[in-house]
Amino acid sequence: MSETKIVVACCQLSLAVGDADGNRAKVRSAISDAARAGARVVVLPELANTGYMFADIDELRAAAEPLNGPTITEWANLAAQYGLIIVGGFAESGDGDLVYNSAVLIDESGVRTRYRKAHLWNREKDNLFTPGSDLPPVVDTAVGRIGVMICYDLEFPEWIRMVALDGAELLCAPVNWPLYPAPDGERPTEIVKIQAGATVNRMFIAAAARVGQERGQAWLGGSVIVDADGFPLTEIQLDTETIVLATINLADARDKAISERNNVQTDRRPELYSRIGKPLEVSP
């Protein structure tokens, strides 16, 4: 029987290309702090082992690690030490010279799944990362069913729907959100999209983001844990390293009813949605 009420932590960190040891130490400290604060599930940012702003593919290849490299090995040791489930992003050296923007879910037994980002963002397409081609995984864990995806993946409602239909109660997402201008008083649209994904699927979503500056790129921050009704459970902090924590009841995500006669899954009419699965014809 899985646990129902658990504490989830999102570690919002400042990381840097070229500082593997510093990145690893910062993540190690954040995981330990989250565990001491009572977290059972800990989410880390995208590319937490390397930073993000690579000059070229050679610099990326030099920083990337295999699945059994020092970063994932250390996370597995920490998961075993503290009794955690850890979801974190890393630059993965894969087949031949290919590099993937990947994430792992690790528990006390070791690596449970590895996911490679399917939807690449901006310069990630510039001969840097190879896109993944597998569906986002959903893993049975000691606390419930957890899905995994990465950053820009969250902007595709079809992708979030996939993990919801596979029974995910909590979706964990390592992210690196660039800082873009927004109207005064408005919540960043990255967070709004997560709220939408949570409420239309009746599913918790936890996203761990970056802060600080890296080679001229400012990062938004905004790590957030959203409940199954689409409301943030954590204070939105945009400009500081922090750990945000929330206690969630996964039973809420198992109930897909939104009224006496409506259910976000059984009310679907997939026979009408066939166009969604077809490639878009773009004029030259």
* Contacts for 10 with CB less than 8 Å, ≥ 6 apart: 43, 206, 207, 208, 209, 223, 224, 225, 234, 243, 244, 245
User: Hunting for tokens 């997402």 — which residue is that?
Assistant: 173
Query: Which residue has tokens 């690579």?
Result: 54
Angle among Cα 218, 207, 79 to the nearest 5 degrees reads: 115
Is 11 an annotated catalytic residue? no
Half-sphere exposure of 87 (CA within 13 A, CB side): 31
Which DSSP string do the residues of 231-249 spell out, in sequence order?
-B-S---SSS-EEEEEEEE
Among 102, 13, 17, 95, residue whose Cα is nearest residue 56:
17
Beta bridge partners, 91, equal 101
Measured in Å, how far apart are the chain's first and last C-alpha atoms?
55
Do residues 257 and 265 touch, judged by C-beta distance below 8 A? no
Residue 260 is a catalytic residue: no
The residue type found at 123 is R
Question: Residue 5 catalytic?
Answer: no
List the catalytic residue out of 92, 151, 169, 190.
Answer: 151
Q: Are strands 85-93 and 138-140 parallel, antiparallel or unpaired?
A: unpaired
User: Residue 259, class by beta-carbon neighbours within 10 Å (0-12 exposed, 13-18 middle, 19+ buried)?
Assistant: exposed
Q: How, if at all, do strands 204-208 and 213-214 pair?
A: unpaired
Question: Annotated catalytic residue: which of 117, 169, 172, 190?
Answer: 117
Residues in the chain, overall count: 284
Catalytic pick among 26, 46, 124, 169: 46
Catalytic residues: 46, 117, 151
